[in-house]
Chains A and B, each alone.
Chain A
Amino acid sequence: MNDSLILKQVRIQLENRCLVAVDQIISPGEVFTVMGPSGSGKSTLLAYVAGFLSPTFQAEGEVWLGNRNITHLPAESRGVGLLFQDPLLFPHLSVAGNLGFGLPQRTPNKAECIEQALEQINLSGFGNRDPATLSGGQKSRVALMRLLLSKPCAVLLDEPFSKLDTTLRREMRDLVFSQLREASLPSLLVTHDQEDAQAAGGSLIEL
């Protein structure tokens, strides 16, 4: 069983103007949604939780994963995974190389692990392919699988469906949310799309 992602009295300010204020416990398997127009500071919140907040912002509060305070840990030690708007498959690596990139270093049988993951997203035999040759939906699935293979303890979603066309968007939404629930990961979704929020099904705040 995973731990909850806890945002304790988080307040992010830019030049004394408060952008975001959140106090929330996100339990495993839950998707908590932050809605707001662009420029409202949604992505700033994600940057803060992931560990990339630019020093121009001032942040208060703490981020905990279960009983682990991760507020001051470097990004790579937090165990917080991120899914971006774009799939961002590394162009210099093969599909398998991309999936293997996030695998914890001590994983036994890496190759087998990657092969299974490819099967799971219906891309068996695609391991040696150049990621640039995949379709948009295939790229998104590889990006999701790469995230899951890195064994995160919590997941941040930065408008992950906004660049997909309507049919693909529904498909990816179902896939992402079902996989996150199955892995029982606490997730934080920022979006400006009402449908995303509904599909996520968790609690919601608007900025």
Chain B
Amino acid sequence: MLVRLAPAITMALLVGPVMAGLAMMLLPAFGYLPVLGGETLSLAPWRELFAQPGLGRSVWVSFSTGLVTTTVSLSIVVLFLAAASGSRLDRAIRRLVSPLLSIPHAATAFGLAFLIAPSGLISRFISPALTGWERPPDLLIVNDAWGLTLMAGLVLKEIPFLLLMSLAALPQLNPAQRVMMARSLGYRPTIAWFKAVLPALYPLIRLPVYAVIAYASSVVDMAMILGPTLPSTLSVSVLQWFHDPDLTRRFMASAGAVLQLGVTIAALATWWGLETLARRSMQHWIERGNRRGGELPLRIAGRGLILLTTLTAFAAIGGLALFSFAGFWRFPEALPQDFVVVHWLRALPSLQSPLFTTAAIACASTLLALVLVLATLENEYRRQIPPSRALWLLYLPLIVPQVAFLFGLVVAAESLGIRPQLGLVVAGHLLFVLPYLYLSLAEAYRRLDPRWFQLSRTLGVSRLRTFFQVRLPLLLAPILTAVAVGLAISIGQYLPTQLLGGGRVTTITTEAVSLASGGNRRLIGVWALVQAVLPLIGFMLAIGLPRLLWANRSGMRGAP
């Protein structure tokens, strides 16, 4: 029963809230929200919105962040894949993808800020020897007006995402064979990859790329930490207007949220245009038949850039750890004079409750998502229906900006008598956990040899028992990985927790982000490090548990 209905339930859970949220955003944007006395449609909210100082700059920063982040991340990923040749370095980077992906945005942002701020680690390492600085220079690096630091932070997070998506899509293209074929025609390896693999790969990762554009153009938590202030990015401005004590500002905030949707759509449309241009010139380049030109620079760039970003990401996390244990630390000194645990001891009592809430929300939403995804995939298998038809719907919550529908969702829920609370937060997290869990599990589920299940049933075992006794054990490793991804996604959520919990549900992430304005680096170090390590526990279990359970089953090692 559940299996038969699963796809419908899954789709309804993903599409329903997004649509309801958008609707409850559009109405107030045009002045209609009876609860706050808006009885008639009007353009007043928009007039108020456009009168806001710095709105143009906000819009521009959001738009350009979306496009620049995506261009840079995608280029680095593609260059790496083209230059990778299976060396030890390449394999190490591939293995690091999942843990890097699991680090929440906020933790990465704090880590990056600690690294590159005027009084950050890099400046300390080169001062005063190279710079002559005896005091932190008066430079606006973090929170720069054009959002460059924000873009850098996003690039660190989006590279692992795009890399993982590409690595998942590549096997079906048989890249080794394509490259070999091209090389036998005289193309150098990297050029061969660009000309024979990339044109086939891009269509397969197009949706993830769009998700990156949408995310980067509307991100909130990272923008609060790294993004410009006065004016901030559009998404952060919208958030501030919504939280304005003057409730009539809600109308303008709704208009702002609709504008955010428009900015994201504009960024997507621009990308689509650029994509067409790039495809044409690529076609041209392929047809010219150039076989070696540019091989070396491409290869160096491919290795170098990914190495740089990976090292930066790790250095950022290292920086968090350093600050969380730092005692007295004068400016140009590279390391603190002593290491202390007092920051941890002081934070420990206040960590407990958010830690518990974080774990509870993550476990609940991931468990729900897992049941739904397994039922959906099982239904697909049983009815032998081809996937892909409704796949783009999975991306709906990932492509529609969070700010554009989450406020509306709160309003919609309240009109049904549901106040912001823990349950609503879990439901909200489900919107984002479900797609990621599905994306990370679907391929392994479909690839598993159907003969296992036919065999089981010809031995007289029912479909249900076959599912539990054959399907689940054979898929244990990919299921655990997908669960770890789900937990990581939930742990990292800021805006859904903040809004759907009405500000009263505090998790590690909401607490960490709220520390941003305080500027106590030691404290931030503690919280951000906890936030970064939490998802790693899930991944360690996902890797360790199957090894332990199947210690005596060599057929299960390196299985699907």
Contacts and interface: CB of A to CB of B under 8 A. Distances in A.
B460 A104 contact: yes
Interface stretch (B176-184, B284-292, B449-457): B449-457
A130 B452 contact: no
Nearest to B555: A91
B384 interface: yes
A90 B550 CA distance: 12
A75 interface: yes
Interface string B489-517: 00000000000000000000000000000
Nearest to B450: A52
Secondary structure at the A interface, as helix, strand, loop or mixed, is loop
B452 to A, nearest CB: 7
Interface string B472-489: 011010000000000000
A130 B556 CA distance: 10
Contacts of A146: 459
A132 interface: yes
B550 A92 contact: yes
A141 to B, nearest CB: 16
Nearest to B550: A92
Secondary structure at the B interface, as helix, strand, loop or mixed, is helix
B386 to A, nearest CB: 11
A75 B461 CA distance: 9
B457 A76 contact: yes
Nearest to B465: A76
A93 to B, nearest CB: 8
A108 interface: no
A52 B459 contact: no
A84 interface: yes
Interface in B70-112: none
A125 B555 CA distance: 20
A4 B555 CA distance: 38
Contacts of A166: none
Interface string B373-387: 000000000011000
Contacts of B384: 54-56
Contact of A131 (B451, B456, B555): B555
B554 interface: yes
A150 B556 contact: no
Interface in B385-442: none
A202 interface: no
Contacts of A74: 457, 462-463
Interface residues of B, number: 27
B559 interface: yes
Contacts of B459: 76, 81, 101-102, 146-147, 150
Interface size class of chain A, counting residues whose CB lies under 8 Å from the partner chain: 35 or more
A79 B457 CA distance: 10
B458 interface: yes
Contacts of B470: 90
A56 to B, nearest CB: 8
Given A76-B463, A150-B460, A132 B553 contact: yes
B552 interface: yes
A94 to B, nearest CB: 8
B451 A130 contact: no
B555 A132 contact: yes
B554 A133 contact: yes
A50 B456 CA distance: 12
Nearest to B462: A76
Given A90-B470, A92-B473, A82 B460 contact: no
Given A54-B384, A84-B451, A92 B556 contact: yes
Interface in A123-167: 130-133, 146-147, 150-152, 156
Nearest to A102: B459
Given A88-B451, A88-B452, A82 B458 contact: yes
A120 to B, nearest CB: 18
A55 B430 CA distance: 34
Contacts of B463: 74, 76
Contacts of A86: 451
5 contacts: A82-B454, A88-B455, A89-B555, A91-B559, A150-B458
Interface of A: 50-52, 54-56, 74-82, 84, 86, 88-92, 101-102, 104, 130-133, 146-147, 150-152, 156
Interface of B: 383-384, 451-452, 454-463, 466, 469-470, 473-474, 476, 550, 552-556, 559
The list of the 5 closest CB pairs from A to B, nearest first, reads A91-B555, A102-B459, A132-B555, A75-B457, A82-B458
